[in-house]
Structure 1
Amino acid sequence: MDTKKRLKPLYAAKQFIDKNFPNCQGALLAGSVVRGEDTDTSDLDIVIFDDNILASYRQSIMEFEWAIEVFVHNLSSYKQFFEEDSKRARPSLPRMISEGIIIRDLGVIQQIKREANIILSEGPEIWNSEIIQIKRYFITDVLDDFIGSTTRAEELMIANTLTDMIQEFVLRSNGCWIGSSKWIIRELNNLDKLFASQFVDALDTFYKKDDKSKIIDLVDQILQPYGGRLFEGFRLDSK
């Protein structure tokens, strides 16, 4: 793949749709290229709405010197993905549709964009006190493993788990969407740039210097408003 021979993202997307989905009712170009965050390894995220297909699918294709991820829906199947994304608090499809540049619209895209924007503005379901209690307990449990571990290989794996638990707790307890991979730091920055900086510094210090103290302090900081670490007296009944 020669990036120097690439068509411009929007033009490549239009060519791709004309070639592969000429009868679709709507199409959007989304992802890093529309946010101005693309790199040499970025792909094109294209969302298609075609009422002739029976079921949604995702496909990876190489065309026009671009890696293309195409997300294909009919005019009702996307609703299930909206619902599932909301439940897991990771609004992948609503965000793509909300930020996406319209490439084709036969009268369907604006309504779908409105639905996506409503989901994004409402945010995920608020955690109740029971969920926060459960999360406090399991974070405490993993933190204890992290503090007590003396094996570097195990410490690294525990730190990875703890990292995900920290970002989830901070974001969800504040009524925010969560992320994965690069979206973890993006969502934390959206919430609190200072905390995001502390979070990165704590991880960096551990990975570079084998110093756990900043991660331990960070966990205590986020749990403190909810009663701190939790072990004694915790009970989880089966349902």
Structure 2
Amino acid sequence: METQSIPAPIEAAKRFIKDRFPFCDAALLAGSVVRGEATPTSDLDIVVFDCKVTSAYRESLRAFGWPVEVFVHNLQSYKLFFESDAKRARPSLPRMVSEGLILKNSEILSAIREEAAAIIENGPEMWTEKEIEMKRYFITDTLDDFIGSTKRAEELFIANALADLLHEFVLRTNKHWIGNSKWMFRELTRFDPQFAECFVQAFDNYYKKGEKSQVIELAYSILEPFGGKLFEGFTIK
């Protein structure tokens, strides 16, 4: 019995659009397969623009041998997602649209891609002094928990929280996009590859050997330009 071969990602994506969205206005293939970072578990991230759909939706399915994540928008809904992504400083949709490979083109797509690229280029809004102060406090609180903890099981989760807070602080105070999961490292690398490696080394050393010193030094160095740790006198109103 012959096994049907799985098409290459671009071919599979084009077939998917022809099969599921033949009358859409435009479509893009984005994600790891476009960036050349695909793994054996990668899926096809497909963005569809269709003026006939009443509201945006996301669907996960399998098609042509591939797992597919499809993000469907009309010509108004994507603007709300662009705005929301910019506010949370994680430009998921703008990045997919600006970097995506065109599967189906139309006169509307160029303007949408220009909007997305402008958002990526401008970066997120700068934090206010009050926001920086609040983030310093939460980092201080988590860092002190990390320093004082004597229970390895608890430390692991504290370290995870600290890594998230520190990555956010570095990137936002430099008007740079943040990430979660694998995108934390990717955004740190986009910002400063050398710093990203130091960041990883500090936490890797802790996870492998249980040594906290590099993580603590990293945290102090990040906070120092903004006044260091903050506890006494901090208030939230």
TM-score normalised by the shorter chain: which range applies? over 0.9
Mapping 1:54-93, distance limit 5 Å: 54-93=54-93
80-89 or 183-192: bigger deviation: 183-192
CA distance in 1, matches of 2:17, 2:129: 48
Instruction: Could you tell me which runs of 5 or more consecutive residues in structure 2 were left unpaired when the two chains were aligned.
Output: none
Q: How many residues matched?
A: 235
| Residue 198 (structure 1) aligns with | 198
Output aligned runs, 1:78-227, within 5 Å.
78-227=78-227
SS in 1 for 2:67: strand
Q: What does 1:16-35 correspond to in 2, within 5 Å?
A: 16-35=16-35
- Separation in 2 of the partners of 1:90 and 1:100? 17
Which secondary structure state, in structure 1, belongs to the residue aligned with residue 207 of structure 2?
A: helix
Q: 3-state DSSP class of the match of 1:68?
A: strand
In structure 2, C-alpha distance between the alignment counterparts of 1:35 and 1:4, rounded to whole Å: 26
Q: Which residue of 1 aligns with 2:13?
A: 13
What is the TM-score with the length of structure 1 in the denominator?
A: 0.96
- Give the TM-score taking structure 2 as reference length: 0.97
Query: Runs of 4+ in structure 1 displaced over 6 angstroms?
Result: none
1:132: Cα distance to partner?
0.8
Match of 1:235 in 2: 235
Residues 173-215 of structure 1 show CA distances to partners (whole Å, capped at 9, x for unaligned) of 0000001111111111111111111110111111111111111
- SS of residue paired to 1:93: helix
90-99 vs 192-201, which deviates more?
A: 192-201
Counterpart AA for 2:233: G
Q: Secondary structure at the match of 2:201?
A: helix
SS in 2 for 1:90: coil
Q: Letter of the 1:89 partner, please give it.
A: A
Q: Which amino acid aligns with 1:117?
A: A
* SS, match of residue 195 in structure 2: helix
Alpha-carbon separation, structure 2, partners of 1:143 and 1:101: 42
Please tell me whether residue 48 in structure 1 is matched to residue 72 in structure 2. no
SS in 2 for 1:219: helix
Determine the C-alpha separation between the residues in 2 that align with 1:234 and 1:53: 49
Amino acid at match of 1:214: Q
SS in 2 for 1:5: coil
RMSD of aligned residue pairs (Cα, Å): 1.2
Partner AA of 1:59 in structure 2: E
Counterpart of 2:159 in 1: which secondary structure? helix
| Structure 1 residue 121: Cα displacement | 0.7
Residue 4 of structure 1 deviates from its aligned partner by 8.7
Distance 1:15 1:216, change over 3 A: same
Query: Hey, what's the Cα distance between the residues in 2 that align with 1:106 and 1:206?
Result: 51
Deviation of 1:5 (Å): 2.2
